[in-house]
């Protein structure tokens, strides 16, 4: 269900409502009004300006606000800051490495389910929610895609002269059937984006950043894969295998799977340029 296009069905339970006005304050569409009794409501004519962000429901300290028929008491609660462990999150960011060596096996079904479910919380510009995630969630599917891409590449490289040792090396690998595109990964996710989404450039990258961190937190390895992205864009037959829905185009690609090589420590990184606009 696309809640952004669904009827808003804004409900405030007068018995629970604290009349604090927080839902009115946080609404980015400014469509919530305070009633004569202090209980908030949304005038029907303003409903169409709802972004579908659900901030009104998430901010309510009394679980009094509901939208789309959702019961707020069933939603996960925000952890207190003291329990969030920014150190662990930073450690994950520092020790995450690009993974190019995978076990050639499916990841456990439970992890795949968690990864798929997590995607629902990826933010999108204007809350367009115009994303679609095409998963190669079975290594046999991934192998079929690999074989197709490899066969297509072999046809293409035959016509490319080995004009330097780099190109010659890759040409040799492709003709030998090496998987230079997918690194023998058992899985990939191709994030697709609605062609008219307002932030169609940014949304897929945000999605994969979320995906990468969560996958690594689950002990998986990941690789942002520009070469796979290029191959998929070039090959309509592969896009067909991925079952990209009509009206969507590919955004970017990430490989993932159980890592074969583990990195016991972080790298040392030079800081990027950082400047302060202050005095």
Q: Which is nearer to ligand FMN, 27 or 190 (CB)?
A: 190
Task: By CB under 6 A, tell whether 227 contacts ligand FMN.
Answer: yes
Q: Which is nearer to ligand FMN, 117 or 260 (CB)?
A: 260
CA atoms within 13 A on the CB side of 124: 25
Could you give the CA distance from residue 224 to residue 185 in angstroms, rounded to a whole number?
12
Could you give the CA distance from residue 41 to residue 2 in angstroms, rounded to a whole number?
22
Q: Which is nearer to ligand FMN, 85 or 98 (CB)?
A: 98
User: Which residue from 85, 98, 209, 237 is in contact with ligand FMN, where contact means CB under 6 A?
Assistant: 98
Could you give the CA distance from residue 19 to residue 34 in angstroms, rounded to a whole number?
8
The 8-class DSSP code of residue 70 comes to -
x-or-dash string of contact with ligand FMN, 166-205, rule CB under 6 A? ----------------------------------------
- Judge whether 31 and 46 are in contact, CB under 8 Å: yes
Q: How far is the CB of 228 from ligand FMN (least distance, A)?
A: 6
Could you give the CA distance from residue 136 to residue 115 in angstroms, rounded to a whole number?
12
Q: Which is nearer to ligand FMN, 197 or 225 (CB)?
A: 225
User: Which residue from 157, 170, 224, 235 is in contact with ligand FMN, where contact means CB under 6 A?
Assistant: 224
> Which residues are registered as beta bridge partners of 189?
135, 254
Scanning 12-20, 33-41, 92-100, 116-124 for contacts with ligand FMN by CB under 6 A, the matching segment is 92-100
Q: Which is nearer to ligand FMN, 126 or 180 (CB)?
A: 180
Q: Are strands 11-12 and 40-41 parallel, antiparallel or unpaired?
A: unpaired
User: Which residue from 97, 103, 111, 173 is in contact with ligand FMN, where contact means CB under 6 A?
Assistant: 97
User: Which residue from 223, 231, 232, 254 is in contact with ligand FMN, where contact means CB under 6 A?
Assistant: 223
Q: Which is nearer to ligand FMN, 18 or 93 (CB)?
A: 93
Q: How far is the CB of 232 from ligand FMN (least distance, A)?
A: 12
What's the token pair of residue 161?
Answer: 């002269």
Return the CA Rg of the chain: 23
Task: By CB under 6 A, tell whether 225 contacts ligand FMN.
Answer: yes
Is the Cα torsion angle 73, 110, 222, 240 positive or negative in sign? negative
The secondary element (H helix, E strand) that includes residue 135 is strand 131-136
User: Which residue from 91, 226, 237, 247 is in contact with ligand FMN, where contact means CB under 6 A?
Assistant: 226
3-state helix, strand, coil split of the chain in percent (to 5) is 40, 15, 45
What's the token pair of residue 85?
Answer: 């462990």
Q: Which is nearer to ligand FMN, 170 or 224 (CB)?
A: 224
Could you give the CA distance from residue 255 to residue 139 in angstroms, rounded to a whole number?
12
The size of the interface with ligand FMN (CB under 6 A), counted in residues, is: 8
Q: How far is the CB of 29 from ligand FMN (least distance, A)?
A: 33
Q: How far is the CB of 130 from ligand FMN (least distance, A)?
A: 21
* Footprint on this chain of ligand FMN (rule: CB under 6 A): 97-98, 100, 223-227
């Amino acid at each position: 269900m696309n809640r952004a296009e669904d009827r808003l069905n804004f409900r405030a339970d007068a018995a629970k409502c604290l009349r604090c006005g927080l839902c009115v304050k946080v609404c980015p569409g400014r469509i919530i009004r305070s009633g004569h009794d202090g209980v908030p409501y949304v005038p029907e004519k303003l409903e169409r300006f709802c972004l579908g962000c659900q901030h009104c429901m998430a901010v309510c300290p009394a679980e009094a606000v509901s939208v789309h028929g959702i019961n707020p008491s069933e939603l996960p609660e925000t952890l207190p800051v003291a329990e969030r462990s920014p150190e662990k999150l930073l450690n994950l960011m520092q020790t995450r490495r690009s993974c190019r060596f995978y076990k050639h096996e499916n990841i456990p079904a439970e992890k795949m389910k968690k990864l798929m479910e997590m995607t629902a919380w990826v933010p999108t510009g204007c809350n367009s929610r115009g994303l679609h995630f095409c998963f190669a969630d079975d290594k046999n599917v991934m192998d079929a895609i690999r074989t197709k891409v490899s066969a297509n590449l072999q046809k293409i490289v035959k016509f490319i002269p080995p004009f330097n040792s780099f190109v010659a090396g890759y040409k040799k690998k492709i003709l030998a059937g090496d998987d230079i595109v997918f690194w023998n990964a058992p899985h990939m996710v191709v994030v697709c984006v609605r062609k008219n989404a307002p932030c169609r450039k940014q949304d897929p990258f945000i999605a994969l950043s979320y995906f990468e961190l969560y996958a690594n937190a689950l002990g998986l390895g990941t690789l942002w894969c520009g070469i796979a992205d290029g191959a998929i864009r070039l090959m309509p037959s592969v896009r067909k295998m991925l079952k990209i829905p009509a009206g969507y185009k590919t955004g970017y690609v990430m490989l993932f799977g159980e890592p074969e090589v583990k990195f016991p420590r972080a790298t040392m990184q030079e800081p990027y340029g950082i400047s302060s606009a202050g005095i």
